[in-house]
Amino acid sequence: MEGQELRDALGKNIKLFRFHRAFSQADLAEKAGISITFLSDLERGNKWPYPDTLTSLAKALDIEVFEFFRPERMPDDMKTLMTRFSEDISRILNQSLDAVYKQYKVN
């Protein structure tokens, strides 16, 4: 893996573990002793954490540090849940956009 790919994978896994624990970014940031902004940057693959930060995040999530770097970390049931969630959000957004479009449509 290249540097950016590794940061992206780490960010995705942090986010997945956070979702799995039902933590908001604020919850996890507080538990790990980091800022919400920094956590957001990590999850988006924009920043690279120091080892102490990785350890704090792992401890807050009740996992081992190495688990952040496992490929395809998401279990099948979580993949199904995330897919359904994404589909539901897309459907709701499309319905809302259609309603707004119909309301403001100029004939």
Convert the pLDDT of each residue in 39-49 to its tens digit: 999 999 999 99
By residue count, the chain amounts to 107
Residue 6: pLDDT above 70? yes
The per-residue pLDDT for 90 is 75
What is residue 10's DSSP assignment?
Answer: H
The per-residue pLDDT for 23 is 93
pLDDT averaged over every residue in the chain:
84
Convert the pLDDT of each residue in 51-74 to its tens digit: 999 999 999 999 989 888 876 555
Angstrom distances, CA of residue 79 to CA of 16, 25, 85: 10, 20, 10
Give the separation between CA 76 and CA 9, rounded to whole angstroms.
Answer: 17
Using a 10 angstrom Cβ sphere, with 0-12 exposed, 13-18 middle and 19 or more buried, the burial of residue 3 is exposed
Residue 21: pLDDT above 80? yes
Give the separation between CA 107 and CA 54, rounded to whole angstroms.
Answer: 56
With cut-offs at 50, 70 and 90, classify the pLDDT of residue 103. confident
The per-residue pLDDT for 106 is 61
